[in-house]
Structures are given as structure tokens and as C-alpha cells.
Amino acid sequence: MSNRLAPQEGELINRSMPVSFRFEGRSYSGFLGDSITSALYAHDVRLLGRSFKYHRPRGVYSLAHHDANVMVEDAQRTNMRGDVTPIAPHLDVRAVNTTGGLEKDLLRFTGLFSKMMPVGFYYKCFHTPRKLFPFYESQLRKIAGLGRINPAAQAVATPKRYDFCDALVVGSGPAGLAAAIEAAERGLKVIVVDDMPYIGGSLRYQWHNDPAAKQTLDKLIDRARALNLDIRTSTEAAGCYGDLWIALIDSKCLTKLRANTLIVAAGAFEQPAVFHNNDVPGVMLASAAQRLMRLYGVRPFQRGVLLAANGDGYRAALDLHGAGVNVAAIADLRPDGEPTDLAQRAADAGIPIHRGHTVYEVAGAGGRVSAAALCRVDAQGHADAAHMIRIDCDGVAMSVGWAPNGGLLYQAGAKFTYDPAVEQFLPQRLPPGVFAAGRVNGVFDLHAQMEDGARAALAAAAYLSRYAGPVPPAVKHGGAAPSHPYPIFHHPKGKNFVDLDEDIHLMDFVNAVQEGYDNIELIKRYTTVGMGPTQGKLSNMNAVRILAKLTQQSIDQTGTTTSRPFYQPVPMRHLAGRRFHPHRVTPMHQWHEQAAAKFTLVGVWHRPEYYAQPGRTREDLILAEAKHVREKVGLIDVGTLGKIEVFGRDAVKMLERTYTGKFENLAVGKTRYCLALDESGVIIDDGVVARLGDDRYYVTATTSGVDYLFREMQRNAMLWKLDVGLVNVTGRYTGMNIAGPMSRQVLAGLTNVDLSAEGFPYLGVREGEVAGVPARLLRVGFVGELGYEVHVPAASGLAVWQALMQAGAAHGIAPFGVEAQRLLRLEKGHIIIIADTDALTNPIEAGVEWALGKDKPFYIGQRSLDIVRKQQLTRKLAGFAFPQGYAGGLPEECNLIIERGEMTGRITSIAKRSTVGPALGLAFVRPTQANPGTPIDIRLDSGEMVQAKIVATPFYDPEHARQKQ
């Protein structure tokens, strides 16, 4: 059977382009432009989904984003809304949350036990024994739920983008288009978004029997086209954040839109009435019936009843009648019925009107409506079940009221109050730059909506100082309220659903209030109303009305829940988007790659950890690289080191205050170790200060600490009002350290600098050329061998590196990585900040008290250290070693030092193999344990205890003779 109507103007489908797809294993056909729901409904498929908890049959309800009855999944995606997902060739979907298929869902009888499963029953029933709760939870989740993620689904890369506009207009209905046109004519850059796949909003389907509406839509579209308006359909404004950052979601990506003004003309959600079996497929919102007819050319039912409480319901009844539907009755909740001529038009069409009546219950068989029972509504709003009118029908349409689509406004900070004139929450106070228009603003008349849109646009233009004329006053709704104050009816059998997402019916609210959950936020958590996929678009308003009645408060006193982004579900792939992970590489990175370097991430830098060789282990290679430096010559990339230029009249003052050491007496051409503390005396960085000229210094800092240090220096320079220039040149210069007994010979052939021990002694700095490139050379001893750090402009780094490797070939030069360097410095007892220190380590504990200037008037952290000195030391960094030939288990970094069952310290650095023989390392120990020769017990990861001895550092070349050559 086909429910397709004859072709009509304005429908979204292209009847010349049939499309085949599969649903629940069966093939169906539709037309290009059909949604899954509309295409299935055209084939009279009414059962389109199962409910969350009771697995009740569900069908068309809003045919928009407003309900989650039709949720489908395919191999790649889940929880797709069938109402708005277009059909496409090869689409093969099934309903979510079924066991054994949609029709034969094994859990379809769950509802029979609904009295045993009120809201929150599982918290009450399954809390003991506690250890079984995970089991209970997993089983409940299998029964009640949504779609399942397929972990084997192929990852889909989605971009993320920014966008900008003067005015974002949300909604392309009459108010939205009028606002966008007015704003664009005022010269504003306008973007219009609409979550539906068409522009025009309700003008496309709700005003079919008003010929002027069609002309209005055509005019609006013509003007929009003439202005070349940027209108984005199928695009949701899913969240509003500070400074009017709006998250826009379309099928491809997340756009972070910065709007100078926001005009919300998003309309209103038609609200359902609450009566027994108000969820049986065939019961739907009147606007859904109109969408089916006017957008997709599908007849909603053959014979139906219309439950109305406003003129929109009568318009829908006339529309249905015009489409050939036998409208068996209009049940009007209002005792006096419709005050406009729509009532007469309905009567003229032969539609029986029952004023002061409601649909009390619906009978359903096989997942379809079979009849509706109408009852009179008494003065208290109760349905009089004693006098029922039974009408055989296969559909019921509801048009009893509206709730504003105000999520974005709430998120933007708008304050809403309830207006009895429209029986709706209306924005009362809007934040600067935010405007509302149309139904969301309580304006329902078609032409008034457009006036309101234009007014909002003028207000936005005036806010942006792009319009200086008068802004008309806000448009007020005239006539009867478009919403009924309480379209909710008790039924002894329940199943009068308030929230279809979560299967919450009226009695759940009564129970919740009886249990003390009598606040809107509490009742939301307890009943989960509004917490489902639609976030209460069709349930929150009724929930507020119910709670207000139960607690005998006004609607305003009851209030609303908090609206938080996202307003619609957003695919996780959109949130992930294109991920940016900035990282840095040195100019020699490609050379390292070709030399089989294994990289490690240090801060944001990729550094060679070691250079791989076939058949050799990482540990072997690291030790071999270290030995090569000790015995011959090695070259390491230290381009990642922080580098700061300090110059100007107060440069030395800057250094004196930043670092603990003394630099006033540092001679030009010399370097000195520098240690930086924070205000509490904790070590934050170290490096070398090199004096290049009278007021010119070149300072190195740690790879990961330089950015923080530099920011602090800049801040302090301003606070101290120093005449100093500071430049972070970390990326502008690269560095390499040539180290080992033969380093001088290798370097000598490439530089014009006198490398002799006298001409360029240990801790000296020179400027000259290396391989024809201007260079800064520093004689340093970090690895404990004769060595030179060569710093050159980054673009020349590779050339200099290659020249050194070439010149060193005759001496057997080899590159070494970070791990070999860590071993070599450990053998010298040199600490690495952050590795051997932590967020509380002061220089006294770390054994670098020698780096503190004794008679300095001030440096950062000095006063804190004065206090620290007066306190008892609780730990001390000390060297330890295992005996030669030790063959037992060895600790890892962070393994604990234990003394008489108590933790007294931890390993900070460990070398399991070293060039000096035994395993050795650094550890924090109690001060009483820090004397050389003291045994320390170390607990391994396995729990085994091993013993090492404290030894004096350096472990290697304690006289520092090798590096001073």
C-alpha cells in the first residue's frame, strides 16, 4: 500500500529520482529528498522504532529533530535520526535497541511489567550485594538503551573550522528570513542556519491552506537570493558559549562561529498532549502530519482525529481534509472552541467539532492506532471518562500548544518568564547582542513574525552601530493563547507518556513528588525527564506544568531546568575533528631519520633517543654511544635547548635577580652555570649564562622549561622596570654538542676560533665561524668530556652538522642520542631539572647549594630559602651504586627507598649499565642516609628488596680533568 499523495508544489522529494534502500533487512524505495521515515511511511510502515525502556512500538511523532522515536544505525554510524536522515543508495539501516529485530523484538513485552519498574527502580532494587551492581548494570544497559557503537567502524576524518559573521540568524522561517534580509540590507554579514534540510520553516508546511503564505515564502526567498544570503540548511546551532561563540554542526563538520550578534528565530516545538497510549504509532503532532503531507507527499493516515487547542490545529485539520484524509473529529480542549473563522471553515468541510473534549485514550493493535476515545473535559481540566465517544480511526494528530525553541537563548544567558497570554515561557531579559524573534518570542501571527524578525535585525544593527534609526517596539501576540495550560490527563492504566525518550509517564511524576523530589532540577534527575536524546524538547514544558500542579505553584515559581550545550546530539567524529598536535623538530631532524634514530618526545620536541642498528638492543646501543663519547668523539643534537638573548643596560641586573648565582663579575667570553627558582625557592630551571659583550648575554635553558622561564623574565622585567631586551631565540638558533677526547681535533678544521686550552678554556664562550657559518661556541662539561656546544642559525644547522660529521669521520665520530647523554651526565652526577627534581625540590635538597650566590642582595626565591635553611632538611639527593658484579634485580626510576618499613625516598635517575661499570643512579634519601657508604634498601616493582650503597658523586672523573683539557 502506498500513502503517496499526488505531486504538489514545494515538496522536497524529486519523484523522477527513485532511491532504493534497506531497513530491517527489507528493501524499500523512495525518492531523492525523502528521509528514512518519510520513505518508510509512504510504504505504510508505521512501526519504525522501539522505546528506550519498555520497547514499545514507536512511529512518526514530530518528523523533525524533536523526538527520538526513529533511531537507526548502520555498520558505520548509530543513533541516526530517521526523521531527518536522507535515504541514499546502498543505505542499509536497522532500528536501534532491539533484540531480534524491530517487529519481533524479544523485549517487546517488557511494558507488561511496567508497574514493577517505576523510575529509579534499579537503584532501589539492585544496590545489594554491592559487588553485583556492575552485573546488574550491564544487563540493564542491554535491555534499555540506544544504539551500540561498532568499534570496528572505519574512522572518518572530519575538519573543524571557524567562521565569523555580524549576525547569526538561527531559523529560516518567516521571522528568521525577515531578520536576515533586514540585517543584510543594513550591510551586516549574515549567516542563517536551519537544522532542517529546507528553508522557510513552518511556511513550507503549516500554512498550506493560506495562499498568501506561499507568496510570502516566495518573496522572502527571492529577496534572500538577491542579497546572496549565506543560508545553511541541515545545520544546527548546537551550543552557545561565551562571547557568542556558537557551535554549528552540519553533516561534515563542527564550525566554531564567532557571531557579533545572535538573532534566535528558531521557532517553537509543537507539544504533545498527555493521554493513555499517546505514543502508539499513528499518534503524532499535527505539524508532523503536515510535514508528511507537504514536504514528502505522504498521507499520514486514512481516517483520523485531531486534538486541538489552537487555530493551528484547525489549519491542520483542514489540511488533512484537503489531502483526502477523513477527519472524523476535532476534539477541542477549549470549552468555547476556536474563536476565528477557522472553526466555521472546518464545519463547512464537514468535520465534526467536539468543544471542551479531549482524546482520553487511544486503542492500538499491532502497533497501529485503531480507535480514539473522546471525553468531555470538566471545569477542573479532568477528563470525564464516564461519557466516552469512541471513534474508529488509524491516526490522531495533536495540536495543543508550543514551547519555545529557546535553548540557545538560555545558553546565552537570557532570562525567561512565563506569559499566560501565550501560555509559554518568553525571553524577558536578553544579554547584549542577543535578540529573539518569532514564535520563540511569543509571536505567532505570520505577518507579525516577519515584523518581529525585521525588528530584531534593526536592533542587532543598532547594537553594532550600523543603524541609527528607530527600532520598533517588540511585537505582542494578539488573540487566544496558542498553547493550552494543561493538556495532560490522568488515566488509571497509565501509559500516558510525558517523555517518550525515557518512557516516563504521568504517574512517575506523582511518585517522584511523593518521594520528595519536588523541585524541577531534582525531578529531572530522579525521573530522567528531559535527559534523553531530545533533551526534553517535547517533555520539559509538560513536566513543568505537571510539577507546578502537583506542588500547587505557579509555572514561574516552578521554573525550568538548565539548558546546556549541546542542544542536539553531535557525532563524536565532529567533536574529535581534525586534531592539531603541534610539535617541533630541529633542523637536523631529517638527518636523524636517515640515520635510523629512534625518537622520543621531550616537551613538544622530537629528539633522537638513540640510533638503531640491526641486531642490537636499545640498551646496548645507548651504552655503546656513551662509551664512544668517553673514548673518541660523539655529536649530539642539542637544538632543543632553550636559548634566550639578554641585552641592554640592565641585562646583568636581570640575570642577577632571575638566577641564584652571581653574574656581575662574569667576564666577557666566559660562561657560568645558572639556576632559577620560583618564589617559594623551588628549582624551576637551569642552564648556562654566556657573556658575549659588555651588555649582551646568551643564556641557555632547559628544553621544556624555557617558555615558562621566558614569560617570567618578561613579566619581571616590566615589574622591575629594567632597561633590558629579552628575546627567546630557541627556534632561531640550533645547537649541537661535539664531545669526547677528539672533539677539538674535529672542530679545529672547521672554525676560525682558537680552540687551544689557553685560547678557549673550559667554561669559555666564543663567537666565530664553523663551516663558514656564524656560530657561538660554548665549552661545556655536561657529559664530562672535552666538548663544545656549537650554536648556529637554524637554517644553517644541517650544513654545520653535516660538516662536523664529515670532518669527524676520520676520527670515528658518531652521533649519540638523549639516552646516552642522560647516562653520561648521570655518571658526572649532574642533575636534570624535573627528572631529578620535582615541584617541591629546593637547591639544598638537590645538592646544588654551591650555585647560590652568598652575598647577593636579591634573587627570586632567596627569602624562601632563608626560611628553608632554618628548617630541618627532610631529604637529600644522593648518588648510589650497586656493587661491581651485582647480578640481582635493578630498580626503575621512582622505585622507593625503604628504611625499617618506612618510605624514606625514591630513585630519580638510574643507569642499569654505565661506562664506569656498576649500575648507578641518583635518589632522594633521608639526610641521615645520605653519607657515602650508607646502605639503602630499594623496593622493586616486583616487591623484591635490593640493596645499594650511597656513593659520592661524580661517579666519573671526580676532578673534572677530562672536560677541562
Residue 640 beta carbon to other proteins: minimum distance, rounded to whole angstroms: 8
Q: Of 442, 587, 642, 735, which lies in the binding site for other proteins, with binding defined by CB under 8 A?
A: 587
Q: Which residues, 6 or more positions from 42, have their beta carbon under 8 angstroms from its beta carbon?
A: 2, 3, 4, 30, 34, 296, 297, 298
The answer to whether residues 902 and 926 touch, using CB atoms and an 8 Å cutoff, is no
Interface mask (CB under 8 A) for other proteins, residues 799-818, using x and -?
x-------------------
Range in contact with other proteins (rule: CB under 8 A) among 177-185, 463-471, 473-481, 584-592: 584-592
Q: Of 4, 214, 223, 584, which lies in the binding site for other proteins, with binding defined by CB under 8 A?
A: 584
Q: Is 647 in the site for other proteins (CB under 8 A)?
A: yes
Pairing relationship of beta strands 733-739 and 634-637 according to DSSP bridges: antiparallel
Cβ of 164: how many Cβ atoms within 10 Å? 12
Residue 418 beta carbon to other proteins: minimum distance, rounded to whole angstroms: 39
Question: Residue 655 and residue 717: Cα distance in Å, rounded?
Answer: 10
Question: Residue 386 and residue 422: Cα distance in Å, rounded?
Answer: 32
Q: Of 142, 225, 415, 732, which lies in the binding site for other proteins, with binding defined by CB under 8 A?
A: 732
At 625, which amino acid appears?
Answer: E
Q: Is 433 in the site for other proteins (CB under 8 A)?
A: no
Residue 908 burial class via C-beta count within 10 angstroms: exposed 0-12, middle 13-18, buried 19 and up:
buried
Question: Residue 952 and residue 822: Cα distance in Å, rounded?
Answer: 18
Give the 3-state secondary structure of residue 615.
coil
Range in contact with other proteins (rule: CB under 8 A) among 335-343, 420-428, 793-801, 956-964: 793-801
Q: Is 261 in the site for other proteins (CB under 8 A)?
A: no
Phi then psi dihedrals of residue 438, to 5 deg: 85, -150
Residue 772 beta carbon to other proteins: minimum distance, rounded to whole angstroms: 6
Question: Residue 330 and residue 343: Cα distance in Å, rounded?
Answer: 10
Pairing relationship of beta strands 303-308 and 395-399 according to DSSP bridges: parallel
The answer to whether residues 630 and 740 touch, using CB atoms and an 8 Å cutoff, is yes
Interface mask (CB under 8 A) for other proteins, residues 829-868, using x and -?
----------------------------------------
Q: Which secondary structure element, helix H or strand E, spans residue 249, and what is its range?
A: strand 245-249
Rounded to 5°, the CA angle 875-880-885 comes to: 160
- Output 139 or 590, the one with its CB closest to other proteins: 590
Q: Of 7, 350, 516, 582, which lies in the binding site for other proteins, with binding defined by CB under 8 A?
A: 582
Cβ of 127: how many Cβ atoms within 10 Å? 11
Q: Is 252 in the site for other proteins (CB under 8 A)?
A: no
Q: Of 4, 22, 258, 447, which lies in the binding site for other proteins, with binding defined by CB under 8 A?
A: 258
Question: Residue 769 and residue 779: Cα distance in Å, rounded?
Answer: 15
Beta bridge partners of 878: 923
Q: Is 798 in the site for other proteins (CB under 8 A)?
A: yes
Range in contact with other proteins (rule: CB under 8 A) among 347-355, 730-738, 909-917, 948-956: 730-738
Q: Of 250, 556, 645, 957, which lies in the binding site for other proteins, with binding defined by CB under 8 A?
A: 645
Residue 771 beta carbon to other proteins: minimum distance, rounded to whole angstroms: 8
Residue 157 beta carbon to other proteins: minimum distance, rounded to whole angstroms: 8
Looking only at Cα atoms, what is the longest distance across the chain? 115
Interface mask (CB under 8 A) for other proteins, residues 749-788, using x and -?
----------------------xxx---------------
Q: Is 796 in the site for other proteins (CB under 8 A)?
A: yes
Range in contact with other proteins (rule: CB under 8 A) among 197-205, 674-682, 697-705, 795-803: 795-803
Residue 592 beta carbon to other proteins: minimum distance, rounded to whole angstroms: 12
Alpha helix (H) residue ranges in 809-861: 818-827, 843-846
DSSP 389-425: EEEE-SEEEEE--EEE--HHHHHHT-EEEEETTTTEE
Range in contact with other proteins (rule: CB under 8 A) among 19-27, 316-324, 646-654, 824-832: 646-654
State the cell numbers at 522.
Answer: 531534582
Question: Residue 434 and residue 460: Cα distance in Å, rounded?
Answer: 8
Cα dihedral across residues 580, 585, 587, 591: positive or negative: negative
- Output 96 or 775, the one with its CB closest to other proteins: 775
Alpha helix (H) residue ranges in 233-379: 286-296, 311-322, 342-348
- Output 160 or 447, the one with its CB closest to other proteins: 160
Q: Please tell me what DSSP assigns to residue 671.
A: E
Q: Is 586 in the site for other proteins (CB under 8 A)?
A: yes
Residue 166 beta carbon to other proteins: minimum distance, rounded to whole angstroms: 10
CA contacts within 13 A on the Cβ side of 431 = 16
Q: Is 727 in the site for other proteins (CB under 8 A)?
A: yes
Q: Is 707 in the site for other proteins (CB under 8 A)?
A: no
Q: 154 to 173, contacts with other proteins by CB under 8 A?
A: 159-164
- Output 308 or 818, the one with its CB closest to other proteins: 818
Range in contact with other proteins (rule: CB under 8 A) among 351-359, 562-570, 647-655, 902-910: 647-655
Q: Is 585 in the site for other proteins (CB under 8 A)?
A: yes
Residues within the interface to other proteins (CB under 8 A) = 159-164, 256, 258, 578, 580-587, 589-590, 605, 639, 645, 647-649, 693, 695-696, 725, 727, 729-734, 771-773, 793-796, 798-799
